[in-house]
């Protein structure tokens, strides 16, 4: 009787261990997914092929910019988050194509394509090693409740596979009490 | 030496019956699936215009349909065509910015009047729509070109397709939206303007 | 356990030392070969003015010059390579990768060049990039002139050497030495 009980216990323990191993293995997408490089605003973050430094973050209800001689105004139901950043290439010519605003509840907002022709937009610019860092704007359109405690994810491609992803925490005191301007002129920001 | 090995016979009989039961269950279950799949599908629920429709990854509110001489971005239509524009409010209900909004709306039936997939515009900017972000509702215009010699339809029948969320898919173990299914039908009267 | 059983058990355990690396090798072979084929690892130096064979064509560095200098310290450099095609099926060897490398391992990749540019000495020249030239299905005996442009720091221009590799022939690549 004791022996049967012993066998059953051994089987139960083995089953428990196997279940724990199966549940705790990350999915294939995570195993072959991005390799994070963590930092905060103002840090020089070094990923595999590029370096990134975030400088400032501004919020506004409307954006104004001029492109191809025409004025454009963009409004939104949420707020515009305009991030000033510097990118530089490390060793090879590279283009950084992806930036995502991850809110406090892990909702992800890709950089806005409504302003992709605005002056000073940084994503998609070719970076060459040895040249001075390129400074420009990364612009997001987010609901007002996603402003606090956010993280910026920057990588070369949209879904980095075994490649670096810079994870920059935006919850520094500078962004804590976000002042939302009524209108931000991107022409003036780009000239700075 | 017994003529028949009774014990051995019984053993093999038990084995065969046990195997047979498993096989029989498999056949019964797969037949059951085929029968269920062959049942004619349920009628798609009909919705009123301006009623919100929960369509999996999206929340859709079809608003109105109208005929215009110009596209939603203000540019004129090519010679000999008009624009049939359906306006709707779409909200991305997922955790990521998405650009696959075109899979939601379909014209039913796909007649000669509304050929092909529509072009989507963001009404706020009067430009082509590229991405819709989580929890941000936007008014969107879907435009079909309508040839001048085709009679303007009185009503436009639209169907809304929804996918279901799977936290782990079968191939990569990654979350995604699969198994598209029609979940709503809306009939909009076509107004004329311009 | 009998002596025979004990011997087999020992043999099997020792056999693991052979079998496990073999399993890893067999599973990883395809990935390893793909990595080998995509990296540029084996260098073939080409002396000044000489021609070298790579990927079914004979290559020669025709010209490398500074086309423009900008106020931020960057320079536009044009590299011209001449290729005489020896084999058919050049399209199968695409894509080709032309780069400028310096001694520290930094690498500059080509930027977009419009099909017709004005060379520094004022003449108009048509330019073909390496991939465009190879895609046009050149026949054996055809002479191709390939022009690629790069943007790099002015200070790096003096030390860089052009390199070229073609997908089918990697990990071998050519490195052209320049006149001093």
Give me the residue spans of the domains in chain A.
34-191
Interface probe for C, chosen from A93, A95, A134 (most Cβ of C below 10 Å), is A93
**Same domain (yes/no): B60, B19:** no
- Model confidence pLDDT, tens digit, residues B69-127: 999 998 999 998 889 999 999 999 999 999 999 999 988 765 566 667 899 999 999 99
Cβ neighbours around B79 below 10 Å, total: 6
pLDDT at C59 over 80: yes
Residues of C within 8 A of A91 (CB-CB) are 105-107
SS3 A99: strand
Please, which pLDDT band fits residue A177 given cuts at 50, 70 and 90?
A: low
- The distance between the two most distant Cα atoms of chain B, rounded to a whole number of Å, is 103
Q: Is A161 on the interface with C (CB under 8 A)?
A: no
Distance, CA of C20 to chain centre: 35
SS3 C2: coil
> Does residue B177 contact residue B161 with C-beta atoms inside 8 Å?
no
- Stated as kind and residue range, the H or E segment containing B124 is none
Cα distance between residue C177 and residue C180, in whole Å:
9
pLDDT at A174 over 60: no
The confidence score (pLDDT) of residue B57 equals 94
**Same domain (yes/no): B81, B3:** no
Q: Is A129 on the interface with C (CB under 8 A)?
A: yes
The confidence score (pLDDT) of residue A192 equals 63
Contact state of B136 with A106 under an 8 Å Cβ cutoff: no
CATH of region A34-191, choose from 3.40.50.1000, 1.10.10.10, 2.60.40.10, 2.60.40.1240: 2.60.40.1240
Residue C120 to residues C61, C90, C99, C100, C125, Cα–Cα distance (Å):
18, 31, 21, 20, 10
Of A99-103, A173-177, C95-99, the one with minimum mean pLDDT is A173-177
For the ranges B124-133, C92-101, C143-152, the maximum mean pLDDT occurs at: B124-133
Distance, CA of B88 to chain centre: 16
Rounded mean pLDDT, A148-175: 86
The proportion of chain B whose per-residue pLDDT surpasses 90, expressed as a percent, equals: 53
The confidence score (pLDDT) of residue B170 equals 83
> Does residue A99 contact residue A152 with C-beta atoms inside 8 Å?
yes
pLDDT at B2 over 60: no
What would the DSSP string read from start to end of A39-67? EETT--EE-SSEEEEEEEEEEEEEEEEEE
Q: Is B74 on the interface with A (CB under 8 A)?
A: no
pTM for the complete prediction?
Answer: 0.82
**Same domain (yes/no): B23, B56:** no
Q: Which chains touch A (3 or more CB pairs under 8 A)?
A: B, C
> Does residue B101 contact residue B52 with C-beta atoms inside 8 Å?
no
The confidence score (pLDDT) of residue A151 equals 95
Rounded mean pLDDT, B13-19: 85
What CATH number is attached to the domain comprising B123? Answer: 2.60.40
The proportion of chain A whose per-residue pLDDT surpasses 70, expressed as a percent, equals: 95
Q: Which of A27, A77, A114 sits opposite B125 (nearest CB)?
A: A114
pLDDT at A80 over 80: yes
Of A24-28, A37-41, B156-160, C102-106, the one with minimum mean pLDDT is A24-28
**For the CA atoms of B18, B21, B27, B28, what is the dihedral angle to 10 degrees?**
-160
Contact state of A28 with B96 under an 8 Å Cβ cutoff: no
| Radius of gyration from C-alpha coordinates of chain C | 24
The confidence score (pLDDT) of residue C120 equals 64
Q: Is A73 on the interface with B (CB under 8 A)?
A: no
pLDDT at A27 over 80: no
**Same domain (yes/no): B10, B79:** no
Q: Which chains touch B (3 or more CB pairs under 8 A)?
A: A
- Count A/B contacts: CB-CB distance under 8 Å: 46
Residues of A within 8 A of C109 (CB-CB) are 92-93
> Does residue C49 contact residue C60 with C-beta atoms inside 8 Å?
yes
**Same domain (yes/no): B25, B62:** no
Q: Is B100 on the interface with A (CB under 8 A)?
A: no
Contact state of A27 with B97 under an 8 Å Cβ cutoff: no
**Same domain (yes/no): B77, B124:** yes
Per-residue tokens: C105: 């391992």
Domain holding B59, by residue range, is 46-192
Burial call A112-142: b when 16+ CB within 10 Å, e when fewer = bbbbeebbbbbbeeebbbbbebbbbbbbbbb
Q: In what order do the strands lie in the sheet with C172-176?
A: C42-46, C172-176, C161-166, C96-101, C107-108
The confidence score (pLDDT) of residue B149 equals 83
The proportion of chain B whose per-residue pLDDT surpasses 70, expressed as a percent, equals: 91
Q: What share of chain C is helix, strand, coil (3-state, %, to 5)?
A: 30, 40, 30
Strands C57-69 and C52-54, bridge-based pairing:
antiparallel
Rounded mean pLDDT, C163-170: 83
Residues of B within 8 A of A143 (CB-CB) are 135-136
Rounded mean pLDDT, C144-154: 90
Which phi and psi (to 5°) does residue C149 adopt? -115, 150
Q: Is A161 on the interface with B (CB under 8 A)?
A: no
Rounded mean pLDDT, C143-167: 89
Cβ neighbours around A17 below 10 Å, total: 10
Which phi and psi (to 5°) does residue C67 adopt? -90, -35
Which phi and psi (to 5°) does residue B193 adopt? -140, 180
Cα distance between residue A105 and residue A110, in whole Å:
15
**Same domain (yes/no): B97, B144:** yes
Contact state of A131 with C74 under an 8 Å Cβ cutoff: yes
SS3 C3: helix
Does C130 or A9 have the greater pLDDT score? A9
> Does residue B52 contact residue B58 with C-beta atoms inside 8 Å?
no
Rounded mean pLDDT, C25-33: 88
Which phi and psi (to 5°) does residue A145 adopt? -80, 0
Residues of C within 8 A of A129 (CB-CB) are 106-108, 152
Residues of A within 8 A of C105 (CB-CB) are 91
Q: Is C72 on the interface with A (CB under 8 A)?
A: yes
**Same domain (yes/no): B65, B17:** no
The confidence score (pLDDT) of residue B122 equals 95
ipTM: 0.84
pLDDT at C129 over 90: no
Interface probe for C, chosen from A130, A132, A133, A162 (most Cβ of C below 10 Å), is A130
SS3 A116: coil
Residues of C within 8 A of A92 (CB-CB) are 106-109
**Total domains, chain B:** 2
Rounded mean pLDDT, B130-135: 95
Rounded mean pLDDT, B145-162: 87
Handedness of CA C32, C36, C38, C41 (dihedral sign): positive
**Same domain (yes/no): B33, B56:** no
Burial of A19 (0-12, 13-18, 19+ CB in 10 A): exposed
């Amino acid at each position: 009787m004791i022996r049967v009980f012993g066998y059953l216990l051994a089987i139960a323990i083995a089953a428990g261990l196997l279940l724990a191993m199966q549940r705790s293995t990350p999915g294939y997408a995570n195993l072959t997914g991005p390799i994070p490089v963590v930092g905060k605003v103002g840090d020089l973050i070094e990923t595999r092929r590029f370096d990134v430094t975030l400088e400032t973050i501004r919020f506004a209800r409307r954006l104004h910019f001029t492109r191809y001689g025409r004025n454009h105004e963009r409004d939104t139901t949420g707020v515009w988050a305009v991030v000033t950043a510097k990118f530089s290439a490390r060793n090879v010519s590279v283009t950084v194509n992806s930036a995502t605003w991850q809110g406090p509840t892990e909702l992800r907002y890709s950089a806005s394509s409504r302003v992709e022709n605005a002056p000073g937009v940084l994503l998609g610019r070719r970076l060459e090693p040895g040249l001075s860092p390129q400074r420009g704007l990364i612009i997001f359109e987010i609901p007002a409740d996603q402003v606090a405690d956010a993280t910026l994810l920057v990588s070369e491609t949209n879904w980095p596979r075994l490649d670096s992803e810079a994870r920059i925490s935006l919850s520094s005191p500078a962004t804590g009490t976000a002042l939302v301007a009524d209108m931000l002129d991107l022409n003036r920001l780009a000239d700075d | 030496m017994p003529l028949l090995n009774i014990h051995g016979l019984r053993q093999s009989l038990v084995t065969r019956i046990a195997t047979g039961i498993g096989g029989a269950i498999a056949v019964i279950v797969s037949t059951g699936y085929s029968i269920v799949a062959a049942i004619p599908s349920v009628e798609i629920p009909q919705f009123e215009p301006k009623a919100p429709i929960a369509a999996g990854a999206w929340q859709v509110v079809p608003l109105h349909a109208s005929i215009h001489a110009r596209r939603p971005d203000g540019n004129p239509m090519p010679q000999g065509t008009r624009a049939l524009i359906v306006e709707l409010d779409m909200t991305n209900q997922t955790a990521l910015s998405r650009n696959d909004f075109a899979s939601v709306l379909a014209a039913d039936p796909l007649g000669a009047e509304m050929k092909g997939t529509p072009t989507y515009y963001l009404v706020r900017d009067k430009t082509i729509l590229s991405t819709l972000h989580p929890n941000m509702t936007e008014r969107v215009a879907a435009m079909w070109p309508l040839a001048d010699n085709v009679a303007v339809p009185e009503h436009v029948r639209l169907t809304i397709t929804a996918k279901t969320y799977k936290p782990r898919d079968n191939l990569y173990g990654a979350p995604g939206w699969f198994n598209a299914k029609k979940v709503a039908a809306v009939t909009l009267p076509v107004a004329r303007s311009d | 356990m009998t002596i025979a059983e004990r011997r087999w058990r020992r043999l099997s355990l020792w056999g693991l030392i052979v079998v496990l690396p073999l399993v890893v090798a067999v599973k990883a072979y395809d990935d390893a070969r793909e990595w080998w084929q995509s990296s540029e690892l084996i260098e073939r130096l080409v002396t000044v003015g000489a021609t070298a064979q790579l990927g079914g064509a004979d290559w020669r560095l025709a010209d490398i010059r500074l086309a423009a200098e900008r106020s931020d310290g960057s320079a536009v450099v044009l590299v011209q390579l001449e290729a005489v095609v020896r084999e058919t099926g050049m399209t199968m060897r695409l894509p080709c990768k032309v780069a400028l490398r310096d001694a520290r391992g930094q690498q500059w990749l080509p930027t977009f060049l419009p099909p017709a540019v004005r060379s520094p000495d004022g003449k108009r020249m048509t330019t073909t990039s390496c991939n465009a030239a190879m895609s046009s299905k050149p026949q054996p005996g055809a002479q191709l002139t390939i022009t690629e442009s790069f943007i790099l720091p002015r200070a790096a221009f003096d030390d860089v050497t052009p390199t070229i590799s073609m997908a089918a022939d990697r990990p071998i690549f050519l490195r052209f030495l320049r006149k001093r």
